[in-house]
């Protein structure tokens, strides 16, 4: 199973309430319906374990994918490109990491 891990902060001009509403009502339902996607979660970072220091990222996304070819094709559609463009209006240089489970 592949997990795409996305780490990001919001753009300075982006409103966190507006982003979280968009994530719940647009991003999460659309990504969860994509072929190849088995789960999608958006997480708000609460802090660093054992530290009072600020976390380097405010949000993360975990996208579980069991068919990268189908998922890749699905994210290339016009509808998903529109969702991605909306995401870019909120996210400040998101980092997308493709990971594989050790088990």
Cβ-based burial of 91 (10 A; exposed 0-12, middle 13-18, buried ≥19): buried
Domains of the chain plus CATH, in order, are: 2-44+55-100 (3.30.70.100)
Which SS3 state, helix, strand or coil, does residue 32 take?
A: helix
pLDDT in tens, 24-75: 999 999 999 999 999 999 999 999 999 999 999 999 999 999 999 999 999 9
Q: Is the pLDDT of residue 103 over 90?
A: no
pLDDT in tens, 5-34: 999 999 999 999 999 999 999 999 999 999
> By the 8 A CB rule, do 41 and 65 touch?
no
What pLDDT, on a 0 to 100 scale, did the predictor assign at position 87?
98
What does the alpha-carbon distance between residue 103 and residue 95 come to, in Å, rounded to a whole number? 24
What pLDDT, on a 0 to 100 scale, did the predictor assign at position 49?
98
């Amino acid at each position: 199973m592949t997990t795409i891990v996305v780490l990001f902060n919001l753009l300075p001009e982006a409103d966190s309430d507006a982003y979280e509403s968009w994530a719940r009502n647009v991003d999460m339902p659309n990504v969860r319906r994509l072929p190849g996607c088995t789960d999608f979660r958006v997480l708000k970072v609460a802090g660093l374990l054992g530290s009072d220091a600020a976390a380097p990222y405010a949000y993360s996304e975990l996208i579980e994918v069991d068919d990268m070819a189908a998922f890749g094709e699905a994210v290339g559609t016009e509808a998903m490109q529109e969702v991605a463009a909306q995401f870019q209006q909120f996210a400040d240089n998101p980092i997308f990491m493709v990971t594989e489970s050790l088990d």
